[in-house]
Chain A
Amino acid sequence: MTKHVEIRICGLGGQGVVLAGQILGKAAVFDGLNVVQTQSYGAEARGSAAKSEVILSDTKVGFPMIRHCDVLVAMNQKSLDMYVKDLKDDGILIVDEGLVEKIPSGLKAKTFRVAATKTAENEFKSKLYANMIMLGAMTKISRVVSIGALEKAIAESFPEKVKEVNIEAFRKGLALT
C-alpha cells in the first residue's frame, strides 16, 4: 500500500503556520519521503488567513494542491472555517483549544483539542512557540513523520540561540496528547 498523506496547517498570518509546514516537509525528506509543500497568505502579510500544505508520499507527488485532506491543523477559528472543506471523513482535525471554539457541525473527522497557544504563553512566555507545540501534537496523533526527523528538521531551521527551546516546545506538544 502506498503512503500518500495530505496535511494542511492553517491559522492567522504571524502564527507560524508556514514555517511549521516547511519544517514538516523537511522532516519528511529526512524520512525518505517525497514531499511537496506550498503555502498561501492573504493579501496582507500579517493578520489574515494563512495556510501551509504538505503532501507526503512514497511515490512521486504530481498535483501539488490538497484535494483530500488527511490531517487538518487549525490554529484559529477563521482559518478552520475557511479550510475545513476538503477534510476527509476519516481524517484528523487538530485545533488550538483556546482559539477555536466551534467545530463545524456534522464533521465526521476525528477531532483533537490541543491547548497550544495557552501552553506556549504559560510555559514559554510567548505564543510564538504555539506552532512547534502543535507540530509535536500532530506528530504524536498522526504519526506521519518520525519524531527524530522532526527534531532534526527543527534543529536545522532555527538559529543556534532558539534551537533548543523550539525542540523543547515540540516535545511539550508530544506530551500534551
Chain B
Amino acid sequence: MLNPGIKFMQGSQALAEAAITAGLRFFAGYPITPASEIAEHLAKELPKVGGIAIQMEDEIASIATIIGASWTGAKVMTATSGPGFSLMQENIGLAFMTETPLVIADMQRAGPSTGQATKCGQGDVMQARWGTHGDYASITLSPNSVQEMFDLTIRAFNLAEKYRTPVILLGDEIIAHMRESIIIPPKNSIEIVNRKKPRPGETMFFGGEEIPPMPSIGEGFNVTVTGSTHDEYGIRITADPVGHRKLVKRLVGKILNNADEIVEVEAYNTENCKIGVVSFGCTSRAVYEAVERANEKGVKTGFIRLKTLWPFPEKQVKVLAQTAKTILVPEMNLRQIFFEVTRVAEGAAKVVPLNKIGGGEMITPEEILAVLLKEGA
C-alpha cells in the first residue's frame, strides 16, 4: 500500500491503489485495453496485503466470480472496457437483484464493437445506466483526474457497501493512462464504509428495511441468494405481482431516494451565468479553460461537472437551466448526456450538443470556446 504524500502516477495505478486502501481483497478480470494496467497493478500489489487477483476466462466469469467472493464478506472489484462491460451486463443485473456490493471499473474506449481499442471515447454513459435488462438504478461515478481516480474509487467502494449494490466507476482511456501529480492522504483521514452485518438470529436479508443487512456465506445464516424475484427471506416468488413490485421498487428506490447523498458535482458560476456547460470525465478538462476565456471575453459562463453521472444530478442541472439561457453539452460520443440535460432542462434553457468521436481526439478548449462565444453573442 502507498505511503501518504505527493506522487506522480498513472490513473490506473491510482485506481488500483485506492481500491486496496478501500479494502479490496478480491479482484477478477480479463485483459482489455485500456484497463489491463489495473489488473496488472493489482496482480502485483493485492497478494502483498493477503488479497487475491485472478484472471478469468472472460468478463462474464470475472463478474460472476467477484459476486461469489463478495458473498463471503470480501470487498471485490473487476475492471474492463466497453466490450467487456457489455459482456458483464447480465450479471450486473444479478448483482443489483441480489444486492451484492461490488465495483466495476469501466475505462471507456471508442466503440461500438472493437472500434478503436487504444483510443478514448465516452460512449458507455447509457450502457452504465441501462445496460442490464429490466428496471434498474445505477450508481455511476466519473473521475476527471488521476487524483479523482483515487478519491472516487474509495467513494465507489463506500457507496457499494453502504447501498449494497454494484457501483460503476466510469473512467476513460485518457484518465486511465495519463500520469499526474496526486496527493495520497494519510490512511486515517480516509473514510471507509463497510456493509451492515446482521445480528445473530436475524433472517431478513432481502427486505424489511431499505438496505437490509448482508450476512456472509459460512457464518451459519443459511442465506438464500437468488437472482429470481424473491421475498424478504430470499425465497423465490416467481409469479406474484405484488412481491415483484415490492422488491424491484425497493431496489430502485434505495438508490433514487438517496440521490442527494450519492450525487456530487463540481459547479462554477452557475448562479450568475448566461451560458452553462455540463460535462464529465476527460472532456471536462477542456471546459475549465474554455469557461475562463469566455468570461475574460465578457460572456458570463458557468459549468457543472458531473462527478456522479447516475443517478443523474437533476437538481443541479435544473438550477443551471433556470439561470442560463443556453447549456452546452460537450461529450466524446454522438449525444448521450445531452438527452438527460434536455430532459431535465424542460425547455427552460436551450441545450446545445458538441460531439466528437474517433482517434481519441479530445474536444479542445478552443472548440468549446467557439460555441460559447457564438451562443453568448
Indicate, yes or no, whether A interacts with B.
yes
Chain A residues within CB distance 8 Å of chain B: 22, 25-26, 29, 33-41, 43, 60-65, 67
- Could you tell me if B178 and A37 are in contact, using CB atoms closer than 8 angstroms? yes
Contact A62 B174 (CB under 8 A): no
Residue of A nearest to B180 (CB): A36
| 8 contacts across the A-B interface (CB closer than 8 A) | A29-B181, A33-B181, A34-B181, A35-B181, A38-B178, A43-B118, A62-B287, A63-B362
Known: A22-B179, A65-B362, A65-B364. 10 other contacts (CB 8 A): A34-B181, A35-B180, A39-B177, A40-B360, A43-B118, A62-B285, A62-B289, A63-B288, A63-B365, A64-B285
B166 nearest CB across to chain A (Å): 29
Which among B178, B179, B364 has the greatest number of chain A C-beta atoms within 10 A?
A: B179
Is A35 in contact with B179, judged by CB distance below 8 angstroms?
A: yes
User: Is there an interface contact between B179 and A25, defined as CB atoms closer than 8 Å?
Assistant: yes
For the complex of A and B, list the 9 residue pairs with the smallest distance between their C-beta atoms, beginning with the closest: A62-B288, A37-B179, A29-B8, A26-B8, A29-B181, A63-B286, A38-B178, A62-B285, A62-B289
Q: What residues of A have a CB within 8 angstroms of the CB of B286 in the complex?
A: 62-63
Nearest CB in chain A to that of B179: its residue: A37
- Cross-chain contact of A36 among B118, B178, B288, B364 (Cβ < 8 A): B178
Q: How far is the CB of B89 from chain A (nearest CB, A)?
A: 29
A97 to B301, CA, bound (A): 48
Q: How large is the interface on B (under 10, 10 to 19, 20 to 34, 35 or more residues)?
A: 20 to 34
- The listed residue with most B CB atoms (<10 A of its CB), out of A25, A33, A60, A63, is A63
Contact B365 A37 (CB under 8 A): no
Min CB gap A158→B, angstroms: 15
Interface code B346-374, partner A: CB below 8 Å = 1, 0 otherwise? Answer: 00000000000000101011100000000
Q: Known contacts A62-B285, A62-B289, A63-B289; is A41 also within 8 Å of B178 by CB?
A: no
B239 sits at the interface (CB 8 A): no
Q: Which of B118, B282, B364 contacts A41 (CB 8 A)?
A: B118
Q: Given A25-B8, A26-B8, A41-B118, are A64 and B178 neighbors across the interface (CB < 8 Å)?
A: yes
- A residues within 8 A CB of B7? 29
- Given known contacts A63-B362, A64-B285, A35 and B8 CB-to-CB distance under 8 angstroms: yes
Most chain A CB atoms below 10 A, which of B7, B178, B282 = B178
In the complex, chain B residues 258-282 whose Cβ is within 8 Å of any chain A Cβ: 282
Does B377 lie at the interface of the complex (its beta carbon under 8 Å from any beta carbon of A)? no
8 Å CB interface, B135-179 against A: 174, 177-179
| Chain B residue with Cβ nearest A54 | B179
Check B179–A36 contact: CB distance below 8 A: yes
On chain A, the residues within 8 Å of B364 by CB distance are 63, 65, 67
Asked if residues A29 and B6 are in contact (CB atoms below 8 Å), the reply is yes
Q: Which B residues are CB-close (under 8 A) to A41? A: 118
How far is it, in angstroms, between the C-alpha of A114 and the C-alpha of B186 when the chains are bound? Answer: 44
Give complex CA distance A98, B180 in Å. Answer: 33
Neighbouring B residues of A25 by C-beta, 8 Å:
8, 179
Closest residue on chain B to residue A43 by CB atoms: B118
Interface positions of B from 7 to 23, Cβ below 8 Å from A: 7-8
CA A64 to CA B360, docked complex, whole Å: 13
Q: Name the residue of chain A whose CB is nearest to the CB of B284.
A: A62
The distance from the CB of B365 to the nearest CB of chain A, in whole angstroms, is: 5
B365 with A62: CB separation less than 8 A:
yes
Cβ–Cβ < 8 Å partners of B118 in chain A: 40-41, 43
Give the nearest-CB partner of A21 in chain B: B179
Q: Which A residue sits closest to B146, measured CB to CB?
A: A36
CB of A48 to closest CB in B, whole Å: 12
A38→B365 contact, CB < 8 A: no
* Shortest Cβ gap from A3 to chain B (Å): 15
Residues on the B chain within 8 Å of A33, using CB: 181
Which chain B residue has the least Cβ–Cβ distance from A61? B180
Bound state CA distance, A43 and B7, in angstroms? 30
- Tell me the complex Cα distance, A26–B8, Å: 6
Q: What CA separation (Å) do A39 and B360 show in the bound complex?
A: 12
Q: Which residues of A contact B8 (CB under 8 A)?
A: 25-26, 29, 35, 37
Instruction: Report the minimum CB–CB distance from A97 to chain B (whole Å).
Output: 29
In the complex formed, the residue of A with least CB distance to B363 is: A63
Which B residue's beta carbon lies closest to that of A34? Answer: B181
Evaluate whether A37 and B360 lie within 8 angstroms (CB atoms) in the complex, with A29-B8, A63-B289 already known. Answer: no
Contact B285 A63 (CB under 8 A): yes
List, in ascending order, chain A residues with CB within 8 A of B181's CB.
29, 33-35
Q: How far is the CB of B107 from chain A (nearest CB, A)?
A: 14
The contact string, 1 if C-beta is below 8 Å from chain A, for chain B 284-302, is 0111110000000000000
A43 and B179 alpha carbons, distance in the complex (Å): 21
A67→B293 CA distance, assembly (Å): 16
* Contact of B180 with A37 in the complex, beta carbons under 8 Å: yes
Interface residues of B in 169-198 (CB under 8 A from A): 174, 177-181
Evaluate contact between A38 and B177: CB separation under 8 angstroms: yes
Q: Inside 8 A of B178's CB, which chain A residues have their CB?
A: 36-38, 64
CB distance from B32 to the nearest CB of A (A): 16
A60 to B266, alpha carbons, bound, how many Å? Answer: 15
